[in-house]
Structure 1
Amino acid sequence: MDPKHLFDDPRLTAVGLLYEAHDGLLAQLEQSWKSNGLSGLDLNALLRLSRSPGRKLRMTDLAVQTNLSTSGVTRLVDRLERNGFVRREADPGDRRSSYAVLTAAGATRVARVLPAYLELVDRWFTGLLGPERLEQLTAGLRIIRDATRPEATQITE
């Protein structure tokens, strides 16, 4: 390919826009979790737990869903546990495994963050697209996520 045209490749535009949109969106949403004493990673983990059956996930599943190593998720859960937002629960069927479980205090903190967070999500993301475009984008993102991170959709039973 001619080097002059290489830099005009529309694939570079598409992936570049994705990076820029991601960074811009996080910058807009950040105030909602920071003003409630959380990091983005804290909120991500608490939201994943709050939306999971029984409000709990195996530590290994939480690691995958948050894109953390096992030691990284251990440090995250340690911090959330110190703040009273999560507790650990042994897996009765597998002594090597444990669950991170959302506590009442964790659910209360998420409920406190969500109104402002969702308002910002609507202002800077979903509300900019309209229902049809949002549905198409969500479907497209799911395809990309499933292809690039299939482990993120597999929950251990």
Structure 2
Amino acid sequence: MTDLTALFTDLVRLETRLYNVLDARLKAEHDLPLGQFEFLRFIASHGATRVFDLAREMAITVGATSKAVDRLESAGRVRRTANPDDRRSSLVELTAAGEQALAAAEPTVEAELRTWVGSALPAPVLEQLATSLSMLRQRAELDPRTDRHHSTTA
């Protein structure tokens, strides 16, 4: 029988170590923290998006998300525009500088992930891991106890 507590510990420690390695390399080579890379990647794949949607995706508070967007905006990587469907919110979209930063950083992230994950597991095992983690993430995202954005205001 699998020790779920040990599995949890392994997942958390692996995530922490991978995050730290990726973050350090992105900062050193691209002046782009991993958290900002994740924001840029989400915006690039979804188009103009609300801070609320970013917060939900990143599983962080709206307040923390808004501060992160402020930093990206100050760096010239995103811009906020009025939301035509809701005057109470704005939309966040990539600038040309944000697109360039993301394009430059993506190969770096992929190289690190190939080193730390892709080369460590045979392809069928990696595919099963990806499927299993996706399933667990979807389940967690449906559980209201994991929904952190409700604890703050916009």
Q: Shared fold (TM-score greater than 0.5)?
A: yes
Instruction: List alignment gaps of at least 5 residues for structure 2.
Output: 147-154
- What residue is the counterpart of 1:15 in the other structure? 8
With normalisation by structure 2, the TM-score equals 0.84
- What residue is the counterpart of 1:100 in the other structure? 92
Q: After the TM superposition, which residues 1-157 of structure 1 pair with which residues of structure 2 at under 5 Å, given as runs?
A: 10-35=3-28, 36-52=30-46, 55-150=47-142
* Moved beyond 3 Å, runs of 4+: none
For CA contacts below 8 A with separation 6 or more, give which structure has more relative contact order: 2
Q: Percent identity?
A: 29
In structure 1, distance between residues paired with 2:2 and 2:127: 27
Across the aligned residues of Structure 1 and Structure 2, the Cα RMSD in angstroms comes to 2.0
Structure 1 or 2, whichever has the larger Rg, is: 1
Q: 1:126 Cα shift? A: 2.1
In structure 1, distance between residues paired with 2:118 and 2:128: 12
**Secondary structure of the structure 1 residue equivalent to 2:88:** coil
The more displaced of 141-150 and 74-83 is 141-150
Number of paired residues? 143
Q: 1:81 Cα shift? A: 0.5
Q: Give yes or no for contact 1:32–1:113 (8 Å, CA) kept in 2.
A: no
Residue deviations 1:23-53, cap 9 Å, x none?
A: 221232223311111222111111111122x
With normalisation by structure 1, the TM-score equals 0.82
Residues 1:88 and 1:132: Cα distance change in structure 2 (over 3 Å): same
Q: Give yes or no for contact 1:58–1:100 (8 Å, CA) kept in 2.
A: yes
In structure 1, distance between residues paired with 2:89 and 2:20: 35
